[in-house]
Amino acid sequence: MCTATNYTAKDHYFGRNLDLEFSYREAVTITPRNFPFPFRKVADMATHHAIIGMTTVADGYPLYYDATNEKGLSMAGLNFPDNADYKPETAGMDNVTPFEFIPWILGQFETVSEVREALKKLVLVDISFSAEFPLSPLHWIISDREESLTVESVKDGLRVYENPLGLLTNNPTFDIQMFNLNNYASISPSQPENHFSKKLHLDAYSRGLGGVGLPGDLSSMSRFVKAAFTAANSVSGESESEAISQFFHILGSVEQQRGCVEVGDRYEITIYSSCCNTDRGIYYYKTYENSQVTAVDLHQVDLDGNTLSSYPLVTGQQILAQN
């Protein structure tokens, strides 16, 4: 499972937790403007916006999990089991496979407004990358500094939702996730007033009582509520250090610890957490065993080149000895 969110201080930030029970050899990958993107059913892109994000590179092709382009448009695919439904090719439409969706969007568009228009002709078609990499059931969040969309291909067609939270987890569908927030209207970062009974004197015996009732389990619906509350009430200074620290704390509020979610004979964990400064093109990440923030800068490579630059994740714990 996964959680993706946005945060704005002086700059804008986009990122996610990847929660899985195994790794696909993830790497931060920069795709320069002249790397040729072949597509299965739509026109290839010989040139496009430069892109940075997390991938598995298979047969020289970057399969992006989450990414940001040089214009600040960002996108992430999150697990959507049993609900995702991909379609046959449809004449007169833009037939894009799910594994191509992120580069197809980020390669040519700069804003959510442009994407919203392009989605009117989109069909997500049922074509796998390969036998080794079959299609994953996904839905997507697409964001710029000002707004976000959620895109879900389900049995009754493509659904595009305005996403005022700039947040996404997994099941159920986005409309149900948003409706569920009505159950938490009384949650507050402030201390509660006594509305229980005028006959009783009730003490605010601890800080944080305004959050009583906020979910603490690791299910996707509960993570949506907890991350929404945390992100919506987050405050930081405007410095890069303060902003990215706050962003990782938002994701940390819903991270998964080994041993808490059984998946067969394995455990689901937060394999990595990412935070991209979309204004500067700097992609920060942490991994399950490496709490140090590592950065890859989009603008430190030749963006007019035609070859991928990939940086395998630093996964071992980095410890600073002070004496």
CA distance 191 to 135: 47
Q: Which of 2, 260, 275, 276 is catalytic?
A: 2
Q: Which of 269, 266, 230 is nearest to 251 (CA)?
A: 230
d(CA 235, CA 192): 20
Q: Which amino acid does the sequence have at 7? A: Y
Backbone angles phi, psi at 150, to 5 degrees: -115, 135
Q: Cα angle at 275 between 282 and 49, to 5 degrees?
A: 50
Structure tokens at 218: 């690791």
Return the bridge partners of 77, or none.
Answer: 140
Sequence-distant (≥ 6) Cβ neighbours of residue 97 within 8 angstroms = 39, 40, 41, 124, 125, 127, 128, 129, 135
Residue 135: DSSP 8-state: P
Start-end of H helices in the chain: 101-108, 112-118, 174-180, 220-232, 240-252
DSSP assignment of 192-237 equals PP--S-TT------STTGGGTT---S-SHHHHHHHHHHHHHT----
For residues 152 and 142, what is the distance between their CA atoms, to the nearest angstrom? 11
Short-list 221, 247, 169, 248, CA closest to 4: 169
Quick check: is 275 catalytic? no
- Give me 291's structure tokens: 């709490």
Catalytic residues: 2
